[in-house]
Structure 1
Amino acid sequence: MRSFIVALAVGLAALFLAVAPAQAEKLRIALQKTGTLGWELAVIKAFGLGKEAKLDIDVTELASTDAGKIAIQGGGTDLILSDWLWVARQRAQGQKLTFYPHSCAIGAVMTKNPEIKNVSDLAGKTLGVAGGPLDKSWLMLKAYALKDGVDLDKSATVLYGAPPLIAEKALQGEIDAALEFWNFAADLEAQGFARAIELTDVEKALGAKGCVVVTGYVFDEGFAARNKDPLARFFAMTSKAKRLIATSDRAWGAVIAQRLASKDARTLDVYRKRYVAGAPQRPIAEEEADARTLYGALAAVGGEKLIGPGKTLDPGTFYKGAEDRPN
């Protein structure tokens, strides 16, 4: 009788373990509060996608992208958003970070001056540049202009500044054109500014075959090796959130539009259009090939100040552990 009770207890315990839900695995993410990853995480929460993916997402909101870089380098977080160029530089300096695509949304040269339609039209004009002299978009625009025989450093008056400041100067008519990040370009577009020079066209002129990923998830190679399955579920989950933002009025209206409550209906429409256009659709190998091409163009203009000691894009820059894209 005693042996029967013991066997029954063992059987019940095994049955409980078989049907008990697996404990959600935790991923720590550090992000800027206003970024689009915040949009996706809000949709994930609203639609219960984290529970479905068996993931516990621990979010730390940061004031700047630089704070995220410090956090990932110091082991204070598992994932951040940054760009592949920064990852390549860190790898050249010995830190084995790797990158997985999040968005190819990129800005444009915005203007209300009908005379500005291409880079040669910027000669003699005042151009505001969001970021500094080593900003990727600016360096690509410079390289593109040089192909047409235009040296923007010499032919235009260039003013650098934070994206909100450049946008404000454009709205006030203090500059002739503004090279802006995608979301600030969307704000200006909604205010009647024209997208005189699309940076997607600039990328293609420099040799890219498609819309090149700009930002992505950055994490340590060692972390990736230990967490391949949770990472794959995380990427699938965020891709599902992207699709919901693109297709679901509930996801957009009840979640995203609430986060952008200060924007009017016209601006919201532009934001959604540009966000959806920026969703990566290509296999990792194609993204990496275009990044390698642009890396060469950027290195030629920015030099070691931009890329560090690396002369070519390190083969490990792009993460290959989630080969299920495009979703």
Structure 2
Amino acid sequence: MTIQTAITAAVLALAATVATAQDGTIRAAVQESGTVNWELDTIKHYGFDTDNGFTLDVQGMAGGDAAQIAFQGGAVDIIVSDWIWVARQRAAGADFIFIPYSRAVGGMLVPADSPAQSLADMEGKTIGIAGGQLDKSWIILRAYAQQEYGIDLATQTEQVFGAPPLIMNAATTGEVDGAMNFWHFLAKMKAAGMRELISVDEAASALGLDPATPLLGYVMRGDMLRDHPELVAGMAKASAAAKAKLATDPAAWDRLRDRMNVEDDAQFTALQDGFNAGTPVPGAVNLEAADRMLKVMAELGGTELVGDVTALPDGLFYTPAE
């Protein structure tokens, strides 16, 4: 039995036993090692789920693909993904909605003693990238380098793609000249002494995009919003309550330390700061800014990234009632 077959079989078996959302339970499938678990753990521990009218059931998965299979198969009610994926699914006919969770992205890091002062100085250099050729942060930096310096990083640098831990190791040992990684690995890399050459926020602003646009979010189904709007609203409120707790109470972080996989206090502090900095701005997502970002993604990522999306789909972003 292949790994994919095993995953599919497990998901189908789970789907056969899952009750409906009418029992007030929201079933979440998330990668076991994902940073979203810090928030979900906080929700459960402090009772922010029951305070908001539901019970959160978190199911750890081996990876994001397995979570998506569980969600698309109806086995769970919620996953975490980026809104570009959700837009693509909506364009293909899926009735999914996106609740903003985090705008944490990152940037390009270089060794502290690197002579590079801008992306132009990376021409001819080797860049380590986690997330693959269609990584959204990589696409934004490519667009920025093209606009500001007239260079295409994809053709004028050498890229090494790999898993986040491998990219972190390659960057901190000098095997690559610069690196892009998932935000929590970037936080650890900064704690190890690397410096930021440019942030994705800075590049996005220069491109006329809104850095406040949240990239990651909770994904739920439109029928749950229609049939059980109180559950969707409750999840959004619980998420906000957990973020507020983590932003103001050091003890809330202390209880999470063991699951954060940190080696020292510097990493622990960097991860807290990075998580809190990624909290989305309250209120509705700026649709014009999101549409501009989608067009950048479509231009450089093509249909492989955005599928058949040509414009921001209506109803994509969930906005809590005031």
TM-score, with structure 1 as normaliser? 0.87
Deviation at 1:44, TM superposition (A): 2.1
* Aligned residue number for residue 136 of structure 2: 136
Structure 2: how far apart are the matches of 1:303 and 1:41? 34
Label 1:43 to 1:285 Cα distance change in 2 as closer, same or farther (>3 A).
Answer: closer
SS at match of 2:108: strand
How far does the alpha carbon of each residue in 1:58-84 deviate from its partner, in whole angstroms, 9 at most, with x for none? 111011111111111111110000000
Q: Which residues in structure 2 correspond to 1:157-196 (within 5 Å)?
A: 157-196=158-197
Shift of 1:208: 1.8
The answer for the alignment partner of 1:198 in structure 2 is: 199
Deviation at 1:261, TM superposition (A): 5.1
Rounded Cα–Cα distance in structure 2 between residues aligned with 1:263 and 1:44: 25
1:256 corresponds to which residue?
256
Look up the SS of the partner of 2:256 in the other structure: helix
Comparing 255-264 with 57-66, greater Cα deviation is found at 255-264
Provide Cα deviations, 1:259-284, integer angstroms capped at 9, x if missing partner.
Answer: 22543101111111111110001422
RMSD after superposition: 1.6
CA contact (8 A) 1:129 1:161 kept: yes
Instruction: Show the counterpart of 1:98.
Output: 97
Give CA-to-partner distance per residue, 1:77-130, whole Å, 9 cap, x none: 100000000011111111111111000011111111432222101102111111
> Aligned to 1:211, what secondary structure does the other structure show?
coil
Q: CA deviation at 1:53?
A: 2.1
Q: Where does residue 109 of structure 2 map in the other structure?
A: 110
Q: Which residue of 1 aligns with 2:146?
A: 146
The CA distance in 2 between the partners of 1:25 and 1:262, in whole Å, is: 35
SS of residue paired to 1:49: coil
CA, structure 1 residues 261+177, in 2 after alignment: closer, same or farther (shift >3 Å)? Answer: closer
| DSSP-derived class of the 2:49 partner | helix
Residues in 2 aligned to 1:174 and 1:240: alpha-carbon distance in whole angstroms: 42
- Distance in 2 between residues matched to 1:125 and 1:85, nearest whole Å: 29
Q: CA deviation at 1:301?
A: 0.9
Distance (Å, rounded) in 2 between the aligned partners of 1:75 and 1:285: 27
C-alpha distance in 2 between matches for 1:103 and 1:323: 19
In the alignment, the residues of structure 2 paired with residue 49 and residue 212 of structure 1 have an alpha-carbon distance, to the nearest angstrom, of 25
Structure 2 match to 1:57? 56
Aligned equivalents of 2:256, 2:226: Cα separation in 1: 33
Which residue of structure 2 lines up, in the alignment, with residue 32 of structure 1? 31
1:206–1:294 Cα contact (<8 Å) kept: no
**Contact 2:39–2:243 (Cα < 8 Å) also in 1:** yes
In structure 2, C-alpha distance between the alignment counterparts of 1:210 and 1:134, rounded to whole Å? 19
- Displacement, 1:153? 2.0
Partner of 1:87: 86
Alpha-carbon distance in structure 1 between the residues aligned to 2:145 and 2:180: 13
Q: Is 1:239 aligned to residue 240 of structure 2?
A: yes
Once residues 87 and 158 of structure 1 are traced to their aligned partners in structure 2, the CA distance between those partners, rounded to angstroms, is: 27
Pair 1:300–1:175, CA change in 2 (3 A)? same
Match of 1:323 in 2: 321
- Residue 193 of structure 2: SS of its match in structure 1? coil
Deviation track 1:136-194 (CA, whole Å, cap 9, x = no partner) reads: 11111111111120111222111111211111111221100001110110010000000
> 1:24 offset after TM fit, Å?
7.1
Deviations 1:215-237 (A, max 9, x none): 00111111221111121122111
Aligned-pair CA distance for 1:54: 2.9
Q: Which amino acid aligns with 1:85?
A: I
Query: Do the aligned residues in 2 keep the contact of 1:206 with 1:297 (CA within 8 Å)?
Result: no
Q: Work out the percentage of aligned pairs sharing the same amino acid.
A: 35
- What TM-score do you get using the length of structure 2 for normalisation? 0.89
CA drift of 1:56 comes to: 1.1
Tell me how far 1:212 sits from its aligned partner: 2.1
Q: Which residue in the other structure is 2:3 paired with?
A: none
Q: What is aligned with 2:291?
A: 292
Q: Return the alpha-carbon distance in structure 2 between the equivalents of residues 164 and 226 of structure 1.
A: 42
| Contact 1:110-1:195 within 8 A present in 2 as well | yes
1:313 and 2:316 are equivalent in the alignment? no
Question: Hey, what's the Cα distance between the residues in 1 that align with 2:118 and 2:282?
Answer: 28
* Mapped partners of 2:211, 2:318: distance in 1: 19
CA apart distance, 1:34: 2.2
Q: Which portions of structure 1, spanning 4 or more consecutive aligned residues, are displaced by more than 3 angstroms?
A: none
